[in-house]
Amino acid sequence: MEHTRTPQGDHDHDPGARATARGLGPLSVFPLAIWCGLAVGTLEVVIVVIRKQFVDLNRLYWMPRQFLWLTPIADVAIFAGLGVVLGVVAVMGRPGRWLASRLLFAMALLPLFWVAFPRIYGPAGVLFVLGAGIRLTSVIEGRGPWFRRFVVWSTPIFVVSPMLFAAWTLGGDALAARREAGRPVPTGSRPNVLFVVLDTVAAGHLGLYGYGRPTSPTLGSLAERGTRFGRAVAPSSWTLPSHASFFTGYWPHEVSAGWLTPLDRSRPTLAEFLGKRGYATAGFVANNWYCAADSGLGRGFTVYRDYILPDLASFKWAVLVDRPLEGLRVIDHFIRERFGLDFLRPLARDLWWRFNSGNRKEAAQVNSEFLSWLDQRAEPSRPFFAFLNYYDAHYPYELSAGGVHRYGLRPRDKRELELIQNWRTVDKRNLEPREVDFVRDSYDDCVASLDEQLGLLVDELDRRRMLETTWLVVLSDHGESFGEHPGDFGHGTTLYQTQLHVPLVIVPPKGTGARKVIDDTISLRDLPATIVDLLGWGSEARFPGRSLVGFWDSRVKTTGDPSPALAEVVPTDPVEPDPAKVMAAREVWSSLTRNGWVYLRREGRSADELYHLENDPGERLNLAADPGERARLEEMRGILNRLTGGPLSRDQFQP
């Protein structure tokens, strides 16, 4: 019977081939499984990198750099476990050996198939590799000696590759640190710069900016020590283009950063500029979707901490872990929806949280990473440029550990709790007013809790007298909508002020600047020009935009007006989770905020929008067709056209 499955011929004269042809012995299963783990680990990483560099529309990895060597470790561990199980199967005589070898090779093909064809339905991959695994095993068994030689000479390659991947990431960090230490410390008095981005904190939800709830006591006390900008406008309504703009000074359409593309190397960043002049540079970010190293925002930072990797979360990046976890969630969802059965829920949730716990990095963690970096600096005399990004106010609006419920409604039931947990993908077309209130309250809780964490950081820096030598810049990258305009929730969806109006507070060293409030409209894109100006390098820096220093320091003669507050977005769909689908269907929005007015347009639509923000802060009464505002409309349209070089196209945002 075995003969029908095993190719016969010359190999029958080779005892080694005959041994292999009988299937794997129980002892040989385990080492072979380890070899499969090593091979799969290396090949999986190679396939992912090739896809991301040359094939995928989505060039963002959405993985930590450490996946390069953590994935091979995970694969070896998985295959070691599999080797033990299949070894037991192989003890059960010839059928056991026959089955063990086929299952082993099928399992080795599975992750490679999944990473090579990520869009093919997971179970279809399982069926395919079962068939292919049986076929491959027959071929291998027919060429026993050849296969053994292949295993022997390839093993060192598969052992060394992950080590090289690890050396590349860890060695790169060490090299950057050496390069920084080799630069002369800048002469003269050069204060530190601490850039604090409260991701997704809308000015309209801050007590400091007139909100009815006292959500921002820390920011309020910082504003007492420096300058608060009352009308700071973000250059885009979502994370990556906004950060890219206030790191480079360029407008979103002038940089590569998009929903699926990182910030490329063509524009110098503030961190690069300051690093080259002898500053120590370090970033500590919590938004792993669009601020992690793969976003390009880490360029120029010697130290850049993004993902935290607590125990099992380190291994989530192996596709053999990630896809089955996702599958378990789908199955759980299906049997709950279909049969109302909940028995899989605890397991699915528990496993998912264990492996995804690294996805939520709380403010306390960002604070502690930054403070321990300060503690461990080899050259404390070297001034630093540090960047913190907090994710606590970003959906899902679940309070961080130890956060206090302060406002309004509490979740009535499990469904409402899931509303904030799954907020990104919830269909928001038929929400009840109570549900929207509940979600907004949850957001306010998160904003207040984040302000509290910022307070802990400021207290600690005050205790260390660190702020006496530091420019502290606190801002947000964009705001957040809660249905103020029909269907408009979250961010990156429109350019209304709910998403563009952000806090900006700049506190000088020693808090020497008398408290100031600037009501002029300014754009965050002017920040790089401002920072280099206040450090004394304004004349040699080539950042576009204009310095804002003249607003609070009358000794400085600012040349010309600040940049006009342009904003741009290719909106995402708050319901559609796949950005690739969204990109294909959406028009570009651009807007100009100026002198208390906002002009807004969507390419391809004839109807522009014009709002008087002072009389109509909610942007409800469109005055674009008002004959009395004709001249203003034409003027703002002219300025916008000049800034964008005419109508913007989607291609400018998705190279």
**Shortest Å distance, C-beta 239 to Zn ion:** 3
Asked whether the beta carbons of 21 and 11 are under 8 A apart, the reply is yes
Instruction: Give me the least distance between CB of 442 and Zn ion, in Å please.
Output: 17
| Shortest distance in whole angstroms from residue 536 CB to Zn ion | 31
Q: Which stretch binds Zn ion (CB under 5 A): 57-65, 162-170, 237-245, 573-581?
A: 237-245
Take residue 214 and report the two structure tokens written for it: 């006292």
Q: How is residue 645 written in tokens?
A: 């070089």
367-426: contacts with Zn ion (CB under 5 A): none
Q: What's the CA angle centered on 114, arms 109 and 115, to 5 degrees?
A: 105
If the CB atoms of residues 397 and 611 are measured against Zn ion, the closer one turns out to be 397
Which range touches Zn ion (CB under 5 A), out of 239-247, 312-320, 349-357, 441-449? 239-247
In the complex, least distance from residue 203 CB atom to Zn ion, rounded to whole angstroms: 14
**Is 369 or 477 the residue whose CB approaches Zn ion more closely?**
477
The C-alpha atoms of residue 251 and residue 241 are separated, in whole angstroms, by 8
Q: Count Cβ atoms below 10 Å from residue 413 Cβ, excluding itself.
A: 8
Least distance from C-beta 631 to Zn ion, angstroms?
A: 36
> What is the distance between the alpha carbons of residues 462 and 490, in angstroms, rounded to a whole number?
34
Among 20, 227, 239, 449, binds Zn ion (CB under 5 A): 239
Instruction: Give the nearest distance from C-beta 345 to Zn ion in angstroms.
Output: 31
Tell me how far apart the alpha carbons of residues 533 and 471 are, in angstroms, rounded to a whole number. 12
Instruction: Return the residue nearest Zn ion (CB atom).
Output: 239
User: If we measure between CA atoms, which residue out of 416, 176, 163 comes closest to residue 275?
Assistant: 176
Q: How many binding residues for Zn ion (CB under 5 A)? A: 3
- Minimal distance in Å, beta carbon 221 to Zn ion? 24
Residues 163-222 that bind Zn ion (CB under 5 A): 199
Pairing mode of beta strands 589-594, 565-569: antiparallel
CB of 455 to Zn ion, least distance (A): 21
Interface mask (CB under 5 A) for Zn ion, residues 539-568, using x and -? ------------------------------
Consecutive H or E run containing 568: strand 565-569
Scanning 238-246, 248-256, 319-327, 558-566 for contacts with Zn ion by CB under 5 A, the matching segment is 238-246
Cβ proximity to Zn ion: between 180 and 477 the closer is: 477
Of 114 and 482, nearer to Zn ion (C-beta) is 482
Q: Report whether the peptide linkage leading into residue 509 is cis, meaning its omega lies within 30 degrees of zero.
A: no
- Distances from the Cα of 188 to the Cα of 381, 384, 531, 536, angstroms: 12, 14, 16, 10
DSSP 442-485: HHHHHHHHHHHHHHHHHHHHHHTTGGGGEEEEEE-S---EESSS
- Which CB sits closer to Zn ion, 246 or 370? 246
CB of 245 to Zn ion, least distance (A): 12
Residue number with CB closer to Zn ion (199 or 322)? 199
Give the shortest CB-531-to-Zn ion separation in angstroms.
20
Q: Which is nearer to Zn ion, 239 or 591 (CB)?
A: 239
Residue type, 403: G
Residues facing residue 516 across a β-bridge: 227
* Long-range pairs, 79-83, Cβ under 8 A, ≥24: 79/33, 79/34, 79/36, 79/37, 79/40, 79/107, 79/108, 80/30, 80/33, 80/34, 80/37, 82/33, 82/107, 83/29, 83/30, 83/31, 83/32, 83/33, 83/34
- The sign of the torsion formed by the CA atoms of 456, 459, 461, 467 equals positive
Residues in contact with Zn ion, shown as a per-residue x/- string from 449 to 488 under the rule CB under 5 A: ----------------------------x-----------
| C-beta of 98 vs 307, nearer to Zn ion | 307
Closest CB to Zn ion among residues 239, 288: 239
Give the residue with the Cβ less far from Zn ion, 323 or 394.
Answer: 394
Least separation in angstroms between residue 242's CB and Zn ion is: 7
Find the shortest distance in angstroms from Cβ 237 to Zn ion: 9
- Give me the residue label for tokens 């042809």: 21
- Smallest separation (angstroms) from Zn ion to the CB of 394: 6
- Closest CB to Zn ion among 83 and 298? 298
Of 442, 445, 474, give the one whose Cα is nearest residue 457: 474
The smaller minimum CB distance to Zn ion, of residues 107 and 388, is found at 388
Window contacting Zn ion (CB under 5 A); options: 8-16, 233-241, 384-392, 421-429: 233-241
Q: Which is nearer to Zn ion, 477 or 619 (CB)?
A: 477
Helix, coil or strand: residue 531: helix
x/- letters, 302..341, toward Zn ion (CB under 5 A): ----------------------------------------
The answer to whether 63 and 315 are in contact (CB under 8 A) is no
Site for Zn ion in 509-538 (CB under 5 A): none
The whole-angstrom separation of Cα 218 and Cα 215 is: 9
User: For 197, what's the count of Cα atoms within 13 Å in the CB-facing half-sphere?
Assistant: 28
| Footprint of Zn ion (CB under 5 A) | 199, 239, 477
